[in-house]
């Protein structure tokens, strides 16, 4: 009877010891959330993509010493693009408004902010498409046209992706999916949208102003 008790004790001790095999559990407070980390890595890759296009742009202007707009009677619509820039920059403030509404549990502010941001983004994209229609040159006309359409078109594609994310976030907001503790679906698209806005300021300043 005593030997059985000893054996049982050894087995229990072995089982208890076995629970500690392997590495210790990760400290959750030191982890970066997967969605947040994924968006940051994606933005880093997009910065490198834009960097390749800017390299081509500066090669044309500096290394090749090619004439930039205006030339051959063609000119870039700086004023219209400037107004469009103001529209897109404004959307960053409405996006922040939406995120603050989500954090504070203000559903109306969140919904209004997301909807306004999407409408401003759609306005920006519509103006850019209209600019392409009336600008007077095509991407294949010359190297300058190619890089102009390449940079602005690449950014326009990112705006379209951002509008898709905002559409899903807005639909979820009106369905009551977000709370002050669970609003990652607003925060992650917001990070992407701010990136799109900042990148356009760089594109506008470089292509239209310099």
Q: What is the DSSP string of 34-84?
A: HHHHHHHHHHHHHHHHHHHHHHHHHIIIIIS-PPPSSBTTB---HHHHHHH
Picking from 183, 12, 25, 14, the residue whose alpha carbon sits closest to that of residue 107 is 183
All domains of the chain, ordered by start, with CATH?
Answer: 33-66+77-209 (1.20.120.80)
Average pLDDT estimate for 125-139: 96
> 14: pLDDT confidence band, cut at 50, 70 and 90?
very low
Average pLDDT estimate for 70-81: 93
Average pLDDT estimate for 91-113: 97
> 6: pLDDT confidence band, cut at 50, 70 and 90?
very low
> 86: pLDDT confidence band, cut at 50, 70 and 90?
very high
Mean pLDDT (the chain) is 88
Does the pLDDT value for residue 189 go beyond 80?
yes
Average pLDDT estimate for 158-174: 97
Confidence (pLDDT) at 36: 81
And the tokens for 100?
């603050």
Does the pLDDT value for residue 98 go beyond 50?
yes
Does the pLDDT value for residue 16 go beyond 50?
no
> 186: pLDDT confidence band, cut at 50, 70 and 90?
very high
Average pLDDT estimate for 106-114: 97
Does the pLDDT value for residue 68 go beyond 80?
yes
Confidence (pLDDT) at 3: 47
The shares of helix, strand and coil residues in the chain, as percent rounded to the nearest 5, are 80, 0, 20
Average pLDDT estimate for 191-201: 97
Q: Which residue has the tokens 């190619």?
A: 146
Confidence (pLDDT) at 7: 47
Average pLDDT estimate for 101-118: 97
């Amino acid at each position: 009877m005593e030997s059985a008790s000893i054996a049982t004790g050894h087995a229990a001790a072995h089982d208890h010891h076995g629970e500690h095999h392997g590495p210790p559990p990760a400290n959750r407070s030191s982890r970066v959330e997967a969605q947040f980390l994924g968006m940051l890595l994606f933005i880093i890759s997009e910065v490198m993509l834009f960097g390749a296009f800017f390299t081509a742009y500066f090669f044309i202007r500096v290394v090749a010493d090619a004439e930039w707009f205006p030339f051959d009677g063609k000119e870039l619509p700086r004023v219209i693009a400037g107004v469009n820039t103001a529209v897109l920059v404004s959307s960053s403030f409405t996006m922040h408004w939406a995120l603050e509404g989500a954090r504070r549990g203000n559903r109306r502010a969140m919904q209004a902010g997301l909807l306004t941001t999407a409408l401003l983004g759609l306005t920006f994209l519509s103006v850019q498409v209209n600019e392409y229609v009336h600008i007077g040159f095509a991407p294949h006309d010359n190297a300058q046209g190619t890089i102009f359409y390449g940079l602005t078109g690449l950014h326009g594609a990112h705006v379209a992706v951002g509008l898709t994310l905002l559409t899903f976030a807005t639909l979820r907001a009106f369905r009551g999916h977000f709370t002050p503790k669970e609003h990652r679906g607003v925060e992650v698209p917001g990070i992407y949208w701010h990136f799109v806005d900042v990148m356009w300021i760089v594109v506008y300043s470089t292509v239209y102003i310099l």
